[in-house]
Amino acid sequence: MERPGDSRKTLDLVGEDLMYLNRIINELDFGEDVRFEPTRLSAKFQKEAAEVNSSSGFKRGIRVGHRKPKLALVFADLGVDPYQILMATVGTALQEIGYTIEVFSSEDGPAHTVWQHIGAPVSTIEIKDHCRNSVDWLKWGREWVGWGGQYRTLISIFFPLTVAVSFAAMMEPFKSLPLVWTIHEDRLATHLNQYTVNGTVEILNDWKKSFSRATVVVFPNYALPMMYSKFDTGNYLVVPGSPTEAWEADSLMSFNQEQVYAKMGFAADDFVIAVVGSQFMYKGLWLEQALILQALKPLLTEILPDDKSDFGFKIIILTGDSTGNYTKAVEAISTSLDYPKGIVKHVDRNASVDDALRTANLVIYGSFLEEESFPDILIKSMCYEKLIIAPNLSMIKKYVDDRVNGYLFPKEDIKVLTAIISQVVSRGKLSPLAHNVASIGKETAKNLKSMEAVEGYASLLENILKLPSEVAVPKSASEIPSKYKNEWRWNILKMIPDAKYRSRNTSLKDRSDQPRGTWEDVYRSSRRADHMKNDLHERDDGELERTGQPLCIYEPYLGEGSWPFLHHKPLYRGIGLASRGRRRGTDDVDASSRLSLLSNPYYRDALGEFGAFFAIANRVDRVHKNAWIGFQSWRATARKKVLSKTAEKALLKAIETGEHGDTFYFWVRLDSDPRNPMNKDFWSFCDAVNAGNCRSAFSDAFKRMYGIKQDWDSLPPMPMDGDTWSVMHSWSLPTRSFLEYVMFARMFVDALDAQMYEEHHRSGHCYLSLNKDKHCYSRVLELLINVWAYHSARHMVYIDPETGKMQEQHGLQNRRGHMWLKFFSLRTLKSMDEELAEEADSEKTKRHWLWPKTGEIFWQGVYEKEREEKKKMRAEKKRKSKEKVDRIKNRNSKHMKPIDKYVKPPPEEMSKITTTTNSSTTDVARR
């Protein structure tokens, strides 16, 4: 940055001879310390790669990889703009190396056709409830939520889609999913100071949270991350490359060129040289431009004709801004070099860059700063078909071939620039060779950096994606075919009529003209409405309405992100796995208050929705009073696998009539699960989603649970008989059967935890996943109820969630000879449960033991202890009562002392008293 006082020093120096500057040019600071380096992010990637490659002691899993990784691309809208071209180019290349893509947008647009042509399905997100949206971002598993669009509509749109997605991604259960933001504009950065001055601290804090939530924030150049440095939490990354410059140049070339000359104050036949430079203002910049002006000085005497009145010559210094002293510095330098007044002109780069470049005949890059990527202003100059002359810096030599698509000169020898000028300019015109070089340069710039952008995004995915075991690893960035990365997808414009001018600012609805108030007003109004809704929302009558119905279906959820998928009908009841993030104003069950185990984040994550079963079963009569119980995952609602009204009526009718007896009803089936495209059998699917170790984990837990010898390697058979199984915790069964299942599940989970807890709790690794995974147990437990229902001889009936049609699966007659009834009978499970309860009740062990924490502890000794305790309590109460009575008796038996002694009156007074008394008595008798 230019330091205070530098401009005054500049004014003092320019009056001296500038010839000596060539001798000391290598000794001066040209701003090499101005750099952006994502050190923290790079270190994070290296650390994670080292952890994956390290050989620690835990058992490793294997990758089955029978489906492709899915990516979600999220846009504010589908207008035609450079960002759509960039993402279409990147998306096509990613599909080629093994990814599948789905596109989301808050509103439709002409680019919808582009994504359809590419083969990516497009969905419109409905934004409601103040920045909440009804999209199940977990649909992409542990892969990738996606990257949000640029914040270009931040100021002009009321809660743009990107903001809504950001808020949703900061809520559970989406907080841990990878998220990438791409930012291509500086609008928000330019408003940061305004927010600070206005005191809108809440807005700034919300944006900081949004930026920090992103796994990576991607910028297309190295200037933008510095502009947004206030929000940097170490997750910034630059992936250079964007078709923006070529797009804008192509769009502006159609406008009247004469008007541009008039606007700049030039004549159409003037010969104009534009001197451009780095986006950064640093202390050596004025010196570099002074050297350039010195090199151009021969044009005044050698190239220009003697009669200067017939020929206009202009030099534009396109850098800095118009608010500082830079204009005065440029004037002082040109005067010192004896330039006639009016030839050298300083122009604000931020305000007039396109107009200045369009009027120029050639463009000189007058900055010797070794930047990290090819300057965007040179790309735009080349796209305007301007001849460029630049120093032979490494980042410029990479793309500019000297005398082919541009000219290069050594920064150490400024005289070479003078020689080049004399070759390409003759009597105020560019030579034919120069025109040819400029034409080739235009073709080069049209697709410049497309390879870097495509490979950059592909490499980013390689670093941040932790793919589950059933997902195949895509090819590396280096394996992308050349035709998919050497040029932008300009051909998509041909798919859209008049797409050339159908940009967000021209043909779409101009949302910036709509009267929505300031951003601060919108922010305050939304917050106020949200608080009022939460404070005044009354409790519903669901609890009363559920009393007389035969079934209650519980919907487990964790966090506000799942709220849009929960039902508000009496048949359903929410169960929040954590107190924080529960719906307000409803009678949802607080699972953590019913089972303290779920207050532990480790087990809340490891068990997932399975923890709701334990919470409801714990003293079930206090919360559930229905004969049947059901559960439905909120993700089933998101994937439109939820029971329709018709299916609900069919289920209730079957329950009331007892059509199938003790039955396990389910409505989300395994053979249609997106994780199972190859329709694998039960155990093969379980292995696929658990790093190939499901059978091993289940077998070890089963042996530990039943005390079976270690050399026993059998598994409960789950035959592939043409029928299907249940997934996603969406089922119903009698309450008494549910309690029996929980009895079995508690023991199984305890055995599973015993073999995995130590390593998983210490390192985050478990052998049911290829990466660190806090939801270690959840995928095995998702399928557990199938094993119990099949081998405990329950009817298993699939309900079509749309039509309500029922079809029995794995008929009991066909199961004969396959069921392990002795392991799953109620008598066996109850006996095992009592043994564990006796052990937990009699021994105060210090070892890690999960079972006592998953529910109630009951065995015969407990009842006996309770009776003995009641006897003691009654005896103690009787003793205390007797002591109280005794105290009262003792108190009453003691005589009170008289206050004074009684004195008997004399005999004569006694006779008077007696006579008076008798007389009064006679009178009373007469009356």
Contacts for 568 with CB less than 8 Å, ≥ 6 apart: 540, 586
Q: How many CB atoms lie within 10 A of CB 739?
A: 15
User: 47 and 766 in contact (C-beta within 8 Å)?
Assistant: no
Token reading at 306: 């003697």
Distances (CA, A) of 464 to 42, 209, 210, 403, 774: 11, 20, 18, 42, 17
Record the pTM: 0.82
Per-residue model confidence (pLDDT) at position 78? 87
Question: What is the full DSSP assignment across 131-181?
Answer: TEE---GGGGTTT--EEEPPGGGTTTSSS-HHHHHHHHHTSTTSTTS-EEE
Token reading at 177: 């999913």
Per-residue model confidence (pLDDT) at position 575? 96
Question: What is the full DSSP assignment across 670-722?
Answer: GGG-TT-TT---HHHHHHHTTTT-HHHHHHHHHHHHHT--TT---------SS
Cα 642 from Cα 635, distance rounded (Å):
9
Contacts for 65 with CB less than 8 Å, ≥ 6 apart: 469, 470, 471, 472, 473
The strand ranges marked E within 223-311 are 236-238, 271-276
Token reading at 592: 């953590």
- The string of pLDDT tens digits covering residues 387-435 is 999 999 999 999 999 999 999 999 888 899 999 999 998 877 899 999 9
Cα 427 from Cα 271, distance rounded (Å):
10
Per-residue model confidence (pLDDT) at position 7? 42
CA dihedral 232, 233, 239, 243 (to 10 degrees): -40
Regions of the chain where pLDDT drops below 70? 1-35, 52-58, 126-134, 136-168, 302-311, 320-324, 497-507, 509-544, 859, 861-863, 892-904, 907-927
Helices (H), 488-574: 519-536, 542-546
Distances (CA, A) of 420 to 295, 362, 416, 473: 10, 12, 6, 52
Cα 12 from Cα 9, distance rounded (Å):
5
Per-residue model confidence (pLDDT) at position 10? 42
**C-alpha atoms less than 13 angstroms from C-alpha of 551 in its C-beta half-sphere:** 23
Residue with tokens 């007797």: 882
Question: What is the full DSSP assignment across 353-422?
Answer: HHHHHHH-SEEEE------SS--HHHHHHHHTT-EEEEE--HHHHTTPPBTTTBEEE-TT-THHHHHHHH
Which of 453, 501, 452, 505 has its CA nearest to residue 187? 505
Whether a cis peptide bond, with omega within 30° of 0, leads into 173 is yes
Distances (CA, A) of 440 to 363, 509, 927: 15, 37, 146
Token reading at 63: 């990758």
Give SS3 for 666: strand
Give SS3 for 297: helix
User: 371 and 430 in contact (C-beta within 8 Å)?
Assistant: no
Give SS3 for 14: coil
Distances (CA, A) of 724 to 258, 681, 788: 73, 9, 15
Element at 890 (helix H, strand E): helix 860-893
Per-residue model confidence (pLDDT) at position 460? 92
Cα 500 from Cα 492, distance rounded (Å):
11
- The string of pLDDT tens digits covering residues 557-615 is 998 888 989 998 999 999 999 988 888 888 899 999 999 999 999 999 999 999 999 99
User: 581 and 561 in contact (C-beta within 8 Å)?
Assistant: no
Token reading at 415: 């005289």
Element at 456 (helix H, strand E): helix 450-464
Per-residue model confidence (pLDDT) at position 451? 96
User: 461 and 144 in contact (C-beta within 8 Å)?
Assistant: yes
- The distance of Cα 739 from the centroid of its chain, to the nearest Å, equals 37
Cα 273 from Cα 363, distance rounded (Å):
6
Residue 768 carries which side chain, given as an amino acid letter? L
User: 120 and 73 in contact (C-beta within 8 Å)?
Assistant: yes
Contacts for 375 with CB less than 8 Å, ≥ 6 apart: 276, 278, 279, 365, 367, 396
* Residue 360 φ/ψ, nearest 5 degrees: -75, 145
Per-residue model confidence (pLDDT) at position 369? 84
Give SS3 for 446: helix
Per-residue model confidence (pLDDT) at position 909? 63
